Chain A
Amino acid sequence: MELANIEKIVAFIGALVVFSFAIIGLRGEWRKTGLDDQVTKVLLGLMAFGCILVVLACFGILPHTAAGGPA
């Protein structure tokens, strides 16, 4: 198996794990109202979005990732 494919598989599994824990963390913060809690909500949400980008990159769904791996 090519190194790029191994990297994609590890990144995909990691993205699922990190996304899950980010959402769990976000749910825990949801009812809190302090400034630090509000900022944390935004940042955890964006991090979860980052995990979605990684998954899209792993599957080559975005335009420039279709070929995947090193150019």
Chain B
Amino acid sequence: MAVSVAPGHGVGHDDHDGGHDDILYRETRDMRLMGFVLFLGADVVLFSSYIFAYIYLRNSIPSWPPPGPDGHALPRLDTAFAAFNSIVLFGSGVTMHWALEHWKHGNKARYNLFMWLTIFLGIGFLGGQAYEYAHAAIGGWSGNTFGASFFTLTGMHGLHVAVGVGFLFALWLQTTRGVYTKERFFGLTAGTLYWHFVDVIWVVLFFLFYLW
């Protein structure tokens, strides 16, 4: 594999402990990381535009939640269940963090345990969201601005969680096939950052829809 090495990057040292692939990995890791962080930044912009649209809608109506088709105010969402479901998702963020830490320290058994816990908790959160969709008495997607905002924003977030679960499963498959080592694990770093990002978006949505 042809690799160009910039002056001052210690070619001799890199050749000594791994060859061209290691040089390529080290030289491109920061660029790939920056690209991934920019991707997350773009996702922040996407969510922000919807969130500010929701805030605008909410502030343009005298009473919130707005009245339903029968003229009565819509009920507030179930805060207790949302708090429970939020902790399921936040817990998955912590387990993902520890999965990465155990991978860095070469403890594959604990990595597997925490990775699968993360995946199960992510699926659990999606199940909780599906339950809430089935029971939320706020008039569906097209009935009123509250329902439209709620289902659009939480649906978009749920889609991110579903993609994240698939992402984590793909990463786990890659680790079983030896794609990553203790020293080279960019995919796991990206997966962890993505999962934390999904958690943090939920912090905002939880506040906006259930606590505000």
Contact = CB atoms under 8 A, between A and B. Distances in A.
Interface stretch (B156-164, B165-173, B201-209): B201-209
Majority secondary structure, A binding face: helix
Given A35-B30, A49-B203, A7 B81 contact: yes
29 contacts: A3-B80, A4-B78, A5-B80, A8-B84, A11-B83, A11-B86, A11-B87, A15-B83, A15-B90, A17-B91, A18-B93, A36-B37, A39-B40, A43-B196, A43-B200, A46-B199, A47-B90, A47-B200, A50-B206, A53-B203, A53-B211, A54-B86, A56-B211, A57-B80, A64-B212, A65-B210, A65-B211, A69-B79, A70-B81
Contacts of A8: 80, 83-84
Interface in A23-61: 25, 28, 35-36, 39-40, 43-44, 46-47, 49-51, 53-54, 56-58
Contacts of B189: 36
A53 B75 CA distance: 21
B78 A71 contact: yes
Contacts of A57: 79-80, 82-83, 210-211
Given A18-B94, A39-B196, 8 more contacts: A14-B88, A22-B94, A35-B34, A44-B93, A47-B196, A49-B203, A50-B90, A71-B78
Interface of A: 3-5, 7-8, 10-11, 14-15, 17-18, 21-22, 25, 28, 35-36, 39-40, 43-44, 46-47, 49-51, 53-54, 56-58, 62, 64-65, 68-71
